[in-house]
Amino acid sequence: MTIETNGARSIVPADVALISAGRKPITQGFGLENLGVVIENNAIKTDEKGRTNVQGVWAAGDVNGKSMLAHTAYREAQVCIDDMAGKNSAVNYDAIPLVIYTHPEVACVGLTEEEAKRRGISVVTSKLPLSYNGRYCAENDGGRGICKAVIDKSTKNLVGLHMIGGNCSEMIFGAAAMIENKQTIDDINKIVFPHPTVSEIIKDTVMMAKF
């Protein structure tokens, strides 16, 4: 594998190479400058409804540089169409789940403890190992993992949930729905999860929070 550092190239032997180059919006070359659409950091500036500074021009997907994920683009496009049709709709970026498809998987939605503090939100957190869950233990011999909940101390709303282990990509949408609907720990306590499922770890972790 050839790598370049400060203009100097060298060859590094490797059996496997993981390339994570990232992406950036492409906003040049198709007439945006003629419309006067505001571009910031090479991305189209939009509000929570997908509107640009130019009336009648919306932008959805990677071009706005906000959350460069396919499922974010689906939601943004939906909100843009709703706004065009006069419906009240907005993207809640705090309720957009993120998944890293490694083994084990990593999935999260909402705020981290650090992000909450930066926003001036006082939070409590709770953690459980996935080995706390019977179904997970039965299907993952010796498997490890963790679930962490971030809860607003004043409102008792779930504001973040983070998981590592198993197929957590298949469960994180539940926490995303809780955050989207501003559910409190009391609301979540009323939700009946099927047993035995690994998804029960979400409720168990939330209910372990101490105030």
CA angle 109, 76, 168 (to 5 degrees): 25
Active-site residue identified among 71, 103, 162, 195: 195
CA angle 106, 184, 95 (to 5 degrees): 40
CA angle 183, 101, 119 (to 5 degrees): 40
Annotation says 162 is catalytic: no
**Which residues touch 98 (CB under 8 Å, ≥6 apart)?**
69, 107, 108, 109
Taking CA atoms, 191 is separated from 15, 57, 99, 107, in Å, by: 47, 41, 24, 21
| 37: enclosing H helix or E strand | none
The four Cα atoms 112, 208, 190, 180 give a dihedral, to 10 degrees, of 0
Instruction: Point out the residues that are catalytic.
Output: 195
